[in-house]
Structure 1
Amino acid sequence: MTANTEHRTLEVYASHGPASRGRFLDEQEHQSPTSRTPFQRDRDRIIHSGAFRRLKHKTQVFVYHEGDYFRTRLTHSLEVAQIARSMARALGLNDDLAEAVALAHDLGHTPFGHAGEDALDRLMTEHGGFDHNEQTVRVLTQLEQRYAGFDGLNLSWETLEGVVKHHGSIKDRTTLRPAIIAIDKNMDLQLERHSSAEAQLANLADDIAYLSHDFDDALRAGLFGIEDIRPLPQVGKALLDIEKNHGNLELSRITHELVRRLISVFVEDILGVSAGNLAALQAKHADDIRNHKMPVIGFSSGMAADLETLREFLFKNMWRHYKVNRMSSKAKRVVTDLFDLFMSEPNTLPSDWQFSGGKALSDMTNSDRARIIADYIASMTDRYAIIEHERLFDLGPILR
């Protein structure tokens, strides 16, 4: 093996860790066969971060106390990583990089899922807004403060590229948010180009995971029934196959078998289409994929249409179900109450959040203060946000 390849067999157009563009701060990593590659180090740093652990109690769709079985941001991220890693290995791509991007992609999410993000974005309207993808970049480059030599996780160029371009290349630089502008200025992420094949896989693995598993959660929550989803593309075929092979089953077994089949059909479609695209491109380097006119990883047109139909069904019958809307309404009130209180009385913040860079929040501009308060609220788990709200707004029999 040369110094620019992994110590295992990957395709020439895969992202090879030893050939990484490096990190913002050079750590002089060892390249011996027994050392971790740069992307393995990235994955490990993400898993050991405080932000990753907090995903355990952050909402995917259902607030944590609705039931222990429902998915959280942590279980979702693990499911995305498993799907991305499996697909990367099947295509001869770097599964470590695909896994790292998948594990990192949701680190900036607020408590209470998109309801919390919507509330925080509205509250931050006059202070630059709030976006969970930018917040992920802030976590990775600034807010995690664990290492002696730097803030953030000092991840490799390729992992940061995959996170920043999670939804694709960025052609319009006028839409860039400050944290992304800053990291691009320091590391030149070549935003107009596509991301690596591994990052493209992680992006689509996200779609596969939530579209498949949301059916499981919604069925268990009773938001709709099996007969309601039988007419849907791919779902009806999967249900017929389950019934043919297993007869009548209880709901828990049906939903598990359904999720298995949906993931399989989505993955097989991506692998078939992507393998054909890669063969036609005849790429000799990872940059050939970045420079191609279109993404090389994708679904067939028919499967993409089926996925959109499933997304529309879930939007109407799960994500906007009145039970979910009620949870979202309460969640937005919690976030709004906390933000407004901390803005007007920053001395109610925990002591280590009352100062930044040696300056008191009370002496800062409104926008600087608001950004730090947004960082604090975004870092909360659902449970902690609820407890903080009770401490600050529920007087109870005694003042706590």
Structure 2
Amino acid sequence: MNAINDSFLSSADRGVLRLITAGSVDDGKSTLIGRLLYDSKGVFADQLDAIARAKYKRVAGDGIDFSLLTDGLEAEREQGITIDVAYRYFSTPARKFIIADAPGHEQYTRNMVTGASTADVAVILIDATRAADGKLLPQTKRHSTIARLLGICHIVVAVNKMDLVEWDQAVFERIRAAYAELAAKLGIAHFDALPLSALNGDNVVAASPKTPWYQGQPLLALLEALDVQNDGGALPLRFPVQRVARHDGDRKDDFRGYAGRVASGVLRPGDAVTVQPSGVDAVVSRVLAFDRELDEAVAGDSVTVVLDRDVDVSRGDVIAHAAAPAQVSREFEAELCWLDSQPLNPARKYLLKSGTRLTSAKVRAVLSHRDIHELQEVENTEGVLRMNDIGRVSFTTRDALAVDRYADVPATGAFILIDEATHQTAAAGMLR
């Protein structure tokens, strides 16, 4: 019993690893996740029984169609594709995992963006049979580009279906070399590559005797060993205010606090802070949780902050350390991943949501877009972005915003655009 408790505590201390599988359609993403769940004992007997009897099963005989463990929509099972992002949880004695299974079709690239936005690791799958000549598919390039833009710190290239190319080392090396060239163009400093067969389980949980030429770890061991540090505490303080908490307003000692979630940094009583965008300075007198007073709050904590004096603070404001404030501006350039089926139109009205602030935004110009085939920015002569396009845009907002470069502080460097007429989420943006 003690060994079990020690194992659980060890896993808890390592934290949760969030990963996303990405790549082109039919590369085997859903099958790989199903295999990981099955081999790590993360599937219940009734689930196995249900997929064994599924009418859309696509493997011969008594074999298990692992993709059905994540493809839960009727349309997904009928067509044999992933449409929406599916999240699955499993754990091993070494670590806990949350996996997002992203669609491979270009039509659903926008779904991949949402899944990748919270991921620590991207597992990029490549079908060895379709890239045997060393030519990567466009979706492999597009998903790798998005992973890089979103600042995902670890990339794992899983060369799948190696059993269909007779475990040919030369094929694996050509694909690894092709991805190394892609990584260099995108600015990905490091990636891990491994050969595997998701369907048969080779090099997924256990090392395979079929790849004596591969000296690395199987996928699960590699993921368990990855060092993913939550460096939110090392970043500057950013505390977007969600609401103002006020009671006993008729008394001299009435309570006024500012509730929200610490997006980055560390907040302590006695800290000199500034309220942005107004620029009013104050000192933190108390940091309150639901049932107690705290000596400090770190990134991810939901707290109420009490300041040493009454200042004008409202929803959407950002509290930052006075020594390291955010930038305040109404004019920005940003990288947009366009998500709406309606193309970007500078004449349309958009709302911009950054943190807890919602304001109107005017697109001034579409400066460039990314050519997925050439992997470079090119001039955008049309002045529009279409669904799944990635481009650089300049815009102006009605209200001044407290923001940072996405590369510096992701929490205040990211935003979404909302079409004011349809209320559809039009784009995900990263300030550059």
Classify the TM-score, shorter chain.
under 0.3
TM-score, structure 2 normalization? 0.24
For the pair shown, which has the larger CA radius of gyration, 1 or 2?
2
Larger strand percent: 2
